Amino acid sequence: FNSVSEDSAPKQKGSVAAPVVEFRNKPTLHVFDASNWLCRAYFVSQNQPRKLTALDGTPTGAVYIFMNMIEAMLTQIKKDPKGAYAAFCFDGRSNSTRRYRAIQNWNAEQTPDVIKSVFQKSSAYQGNRDRTKTADLPIQMDLAQEILEAYGLWARRKSPYEADDIIGTLAYRFGVKNFVDIYTR
């Protein structure tokens, strides 16, 4: 699998970086870790001086940034002469995933010293994030998925799986007859 990152393209101040997409001799399935991309957009949006919201007050800053990144990628992907497909994979709700439940069960069986020794740096595992700082992230996750689906794009979330699980399944199933590019961090 060829993993391509938008970070490899030159950046211009105030614009979304032009992605680098490689065209090959057979169709390519471009699989996006949409949860990862939206989280990146979310934290960027938190640093903006003015928060974007819909008329009803729904936060939309991360969705706006996310859709700009996706639009830049789709513009490049559409140029593939052999054909291209795009899939957007979202994590299931954090408290419903198998990893979350496994970590919770493991934590219940361990002493605080063991937990600290395993997760010496609390930021090393996403389960240690301060959830109060991301309260409106699920709302924007739902909006992004709805927008992608409204555009006619394949966007899925399936509990108890994470985006990584869906990405792996798609790569396994489609990788025999197609190239598969995975876009994640």
3-state secondary structure of 140: helix
- For 15-54, letters b (16+ CB in 10 Å) and e give ebeebebeeeeeebbbbbbbbbbbbbbbeebeeeeeeeee
Residue type, 107: N
Q: Can you give the pLDDT at residue 9?
A: 39
Q: Can you give the pLDDT at residue 12?
A: 47
Residue 73 in tokens: 């990628």
**Whether 126 contacts 163, CB under 8 Å:** no
Q: Can you give the pLDDT at residue 49?
A: 86
Tens-level pLDDT at each residue, the chain (185 residues): 233 334 433 344 455 566 677 788 889 999 999 999 999 999 999 888 888 999 999 999 999 999 999 999 999 999 999 888 999 999 887 666 666 667 777 777 878 787 677 766 654 555 555 566 778 899 999 999 999 999 999 999 988 888 999 999 999 999 988 899 999 98
